[in-house]
């Protein structure tokens, strides 16, 4: 039996002292200090995140359990579990690779989702992604190999096609105006877009880029592009 298990069993089997809630029967407005607690003492107090918690001092160590009034729980640090099963909903981040090679024209092209080839239309297998859940573009990172020194403007757009039609709608736009540096990472964050870059479940989504002119590249150039999407999974 581990030391932690022995301590846990000792807590279960011990009667312990009465739980203190201060003199006016309300919880302490701040976390207690273990130096001001007796060994075995238990106190209700509000933690730094304003969550009501039960604090107990045992063998000189201060333990804490967060309480909940609505079923929500806050974990302020690392959560370690042998097994996690989601039965309703959770939010995570999905990563997509859009690498391709081209001497970009001065017109709109769509980044690939499923092949190394860009396209000129959203509703093509390489450039379309059918969203299984509601998704928000959190970040786009792109790294051009070699660009012309005159390349200072690339317009990025997130576009969608709703279920039941073929009309391509623009969700959000970002006009990236800078002096692009070869072999250097350039980042677009969620707040850079002119609208919230979110698409609902069951939507065909695509990402397009439009260079400022036909001379953005001097020859066939490799583009390393990765997008990160916050995904609201509903089981």
Quick one: pLDDT band at residue 22, thresholds 50, 70, 90?
Answer: very low
* Look-up of token digits 């359990």: 65
Report pLDDT digits (tens) over 196-235: 999 999 999 999 999 876 667 767 888 999 999 999 999 8
Q: Does the pLDDT of residue 171 top 60, yes or no? A: yes
Here the tokens at position 170 are 């623009």
Share of residues in the chain with pLDDT > 70 (%): 86
Report pLDDT digits (tens) over 27-73: 888 888 888 888 989 989 988 778 888 999 999 899 988 888 888 88
Mean pLDDT of the chain: 86
The confidence score (pLDDT) of residue 24 equals 42
Report pLDDT digits (tens) over 183-193: 999 999 999 99
Q: Give the whole-angstrom CA distance, residue 8 versus residue 170.
A: 57
The confidence score (pLDDT) of residue 215 equals 63
Share of residues in the chain with pLDDT > 90 (%): 46
Higher pLDDT: 14 or 154? It is 154
Distances (CA, A) of 21 to 2, 28, 150, 196, 234: 32, 7, 69, 46, 40
The confidence score (pLDDT) of residue 218 equals 65
Q: Integer distance in angstroms from the first to the last C-alpha of the chain?
A: 38
Name residue 90's beta-bridge partners: 233
Here the tokens at position 235 are 């089981």
Tell me 145's DSSP state.
S
Here the tokens at position 126 are 């390489």
Q: Does the pLDDT of residue 78 top 60, yes or no? A: yes
3-state helix, strand, coil split of the chain in percent (to 5) is 5, 40, 50
The confidence score (pLDDT) of residue 228 equals 98
* Look-up of token digits 């979110």: 198
**H, E, C per residue of 151-175:** CCEEEEEEEEECCCCCCCEEEEEEE
Mean pLDDT of 141-168: 88
| Domain map (residue ranges) of the chain | 10-66, 89-234
* Look-up of token digits 């304003």: 50
Q: Does the pLDDT of residue 103 top 80, yes or no? A: no
Here the tokens at position 179 are 């002096």
The confidence score (pLDDT) of residue 235 equals 85
CATH of 89-234, one of 1.10.287, 3.30.1380, 1.10.533, 2.60.120: 2.60.120
Mean pLDDT of 166-195: 93
């Amino acid at each position: 039996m581990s030391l932690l298990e022995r301590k846990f069993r000792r807590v279960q089997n011990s009667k312990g002292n009465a739980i203190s809630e201060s003199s006016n029967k309300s919880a302490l407005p701040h976390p207690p200090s273990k130096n001001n607690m007796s060994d075995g003492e238990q106190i209700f107090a509000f933690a730094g995140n304003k969550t009501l918690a039960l604090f107990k001092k045992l063998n000189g160590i201060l333990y804490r359990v967060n309480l909940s009034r609505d079923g929500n729980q806050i974990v302020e640090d690392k959560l370690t579990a042998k097994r996690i099963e989601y039965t309703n909903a959770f939010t995570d981040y999905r990563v997509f690779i859009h690498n391709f090679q081209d001497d970009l024209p001065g017109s709109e092209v769509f980044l690939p989702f499923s092949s190394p080839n860009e396209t000129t239309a959203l509703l093509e297998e390489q450039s379309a992604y059918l969203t299984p859940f509601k998704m928000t573009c959190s970040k786009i990172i792109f790294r051009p190999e070699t660009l012309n020194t005159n390349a200072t403007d690339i317009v990025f757009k997130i576009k969608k096609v709703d279920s039941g039609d073929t009309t391509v709608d623009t969700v959000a736009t970002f006009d990236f105006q800078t002096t692009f540096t070869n072999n250097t990472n350039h980042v677009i964050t969620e707040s850079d877009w002119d609208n919230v870059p979110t698409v609902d479940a069951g939507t065909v989504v695509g990402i397009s880029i439009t260079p400022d002119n036909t001379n953005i590249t001097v020859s066939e150039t490799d583009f390393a592009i990765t997008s990160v999407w916050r995904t609201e999974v509903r089981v």
